[in-house]
Amino acid sequence: MGKQFLLGNIKVPGIHTYDVYRKHGGYNAAEKALKTQTRDQVIEEVKFSGLRGRGGAGFPSGMKWSFLDQKSDKPRYLVCNADESEPGTFKDRFLMEKLPHLLIEGMIISSYALGAKTSYIYIRGEYMYVLRILEKAILEAYAAGFLGKNILGTDFSLDLYVHPGAGAYICGEETALLESLEGKRGLPRLKPPFPAIAGLYACPTVVNNVETIASVPCIVNISADLYNDIGIGKSTGTKLISASGHINKPGVYEIELGLPVEEFIYSDEYCGGIWKGRSLKAVVAGGSSVPILPANLILKTAKGEPRLMTYESLSDGGFVSGSMLGSGGFIVMDETTCIVRNLWTFARFYHHESCGQCSPCREGTGWMEKVLHRIEHGHGHMSDVDLLVDIAKKIEGNTICPLGDAAAWPVASAIRHFREEFEYHVKYPEKVKDPKHFEKEPFVSEKLERAVH
């Protein structure tokens, strides 16, 4: 097992309570930061650690913090993005449920560094039971003097609130989230201005993912130097991966960035291989929004190098032969999976979740869903395959927020790598009438190898 900065104590009974968390070194990092480090020193540490946003885009966290408008005399806010609605991603829920105090400690240190006196955790509405766990832990932290006025006798004070969303994927987009937090409909804002200049209530704001914030106490504890040593190149530290699909051991894993994808899928320490002794067909490596890769390209790059679990390696080859680490929602598909059906399911999700503000996304996601539905159900035309590519191209880059891109990329990549399978649906409509068509007889492509272990 690799280094476990986030989940190291996960199996300790009662670790979700203040007393047990504290007994196991919890809040030592908050004490160290508040008592011995200046705000700038903490920001420098986070910058030097190489920590990158764990919410999907992988933007360097220290750099993002340094964009916060320092000249403004308005209040500053830290908002934790706990919306987690990306299909295939469930790591933040696990972290908040099992280690609520780790997130709270991260919020304290990060708010201190940013100069925020009021901070929020915006949590998706479906996680109501996790909200209750967090609220209980927040009360414990107030009682222990880690929240409230003059924390640990310093001049730093912080109030922390949990705010539930109402179940909309779009509210995970940071500006839609801020609108929702202000009590309005969650519609993404035009950028610029970015939240660092005009965020919550038009004040300087940083929005960070749960895992990003929970990584901060680890950096303060072990030092930025040591954190930076773990991982490869610009992918430092550890990352939580939500592994699901056709594997023997689905779950949340903390991996050291740089782990070979093959080891992650096949070793007993992680996913334990493909279930039922079947072979691997495809993987969506970073949540439903990233390009899908066939077995040969997820295990090795187009240059023949082993693919690694890093931001750089997973995107090697761009969108022609690569994908993205994204949120770490790792969805594994075996040989019986119908790629068209899988894509239709994703398309239904994006159509349902599009906020409707931008026509290419509002109309395009609906068209994609319709066209995919008819191909999957044996009513497609050969021209539909290129029609899908055309719709995806018209959405990509033409919307206020990246939800449009998130809907377009999976379609474009699936057709790039699995075109034959789409054409098969059109050519043999009677063979795809049964929704489990490829379970009886997996589709065999001449072009793509399957990974058999």
Ligand X SMILES: Cc1cc2nc3c(=O)[nH]c(=O)nc-3n(C[C@H](O)[C@H](O)[C@H](O)COP(=O)(O)O)c2cc1C
Name the segment binding ligand X (CB under 6 A); options: 50-58, 68-76, 267-275, 407-415.
Answer: 50-58
Q: In 231-358, where does DSSP find H-type helix? A: 261-266, 295-299, 311-315, 318-321, 339-353
User: Do strands 238-245 and 77-82 pair parallel, antiparallel, or not at all (unpaired)?
Assistant: unpaired
Q: Residue 401 or residue 408: which is nearer to ligand X going by CB?
A: 401
- x/- track of binding to ligand X for residues 155-174 (CB under 6 A): --------------xx-xxx
Minimum Å gap between C-beta 105 and ligand X is: 16
**Which one of 16, 21, 43, 56 is in contact with ligand X (CB under 6 A)?**
56
Q: Identify the three-state secondary structure at position 199.
A: coil
Name the segment binding ligand X (CB under 6 A); options: 48-56, 102-110, 257-265, 371-379.
Answer: 48-56
- x/- track of binding to ligand X for residues 388-407 (CB under 6 A): -------------xxx--x-
Listed in sequence order, the residues at least 6 apart from 33 whose beta carbon sits closer than 8 Å to its beta carbon are: 42, 109, 112, 113, 220
Q: Is the CB of residue 164 less than 8 Å from the CB of residue 158?
A: no
User: Do strands 238-245 and 292-294 pair parallel, antiparallel, or not at all (unpaired)?
Assistant: unpaired
Q: Residue 212 or residue 337: which is nearer to ligand X going by CB?
A: 212
Q: Residue 170 or residue 247: which is nearer to ligand X going by CB?
A: 170
**Distinct helix (H) and strand (E) counts, the chain:** 19, 11
Look-up: residue for tokens 């539930």? 164
The H or E element containing residue 421 is helix 403-427
What is the token pair recorded at 66? 């340094």
Name the segment binding ligand X (CB under 6 A); options: 80-88, 115-123, 244-252, 339-347.
Answer: 80-88
Q: Residue 59 or residue 67: which is nearer to ligand X going by CB?
A: 59
Q: Residue 162 or residue 280: which is nearer to ligand X going by CB?
A: 162
Minimum Å gap between C-beta 233 and ligand X is: 19
Q: Residue 125 or residue 442: which is nearer to ligand X going by CB?
A: 125
Q: Is the CB of residue 103 less than 8 Å from the CB of residue 80?
A: yes
Minimum Å gap between C-beta 199 and ligand X is: 12
- Residue among 329, 325, 295 nearest 308 (CA): 325
**Which one of 7, 43, 54, 321 is in contact with ligand X (CB under 6 A)?**
54
Q: Residue 96 or residue 432: which is nearer to ligand X going by CB?
A: 96
Minimum Å gap between C-beta 7 and ligand X is: 18
Size of the site for ligand X (CB under 6 A): 25
Instruction: Give, rounded to a whole angstrom, the gap between the first and last alpha carbons of the chain.
Output: 22
**86 makes contact with ligand X (CB under 6 A):** yes
Q: In angstroms, rounded to a whole number, what is the distance separating the alpha carbons of residues 435 and 343?
A: 14
**83 makes contact with ligand X (CB under 6 A):** yes
- Residue among 67, 27, 33, 29 nearest 47 (CA): 67
The binding site for ligand X (CB under 6 A) comprises 53-57, 59, 64, 81, 83-86, 169-170, 172-174, 207-209, 212, 401-403, 406
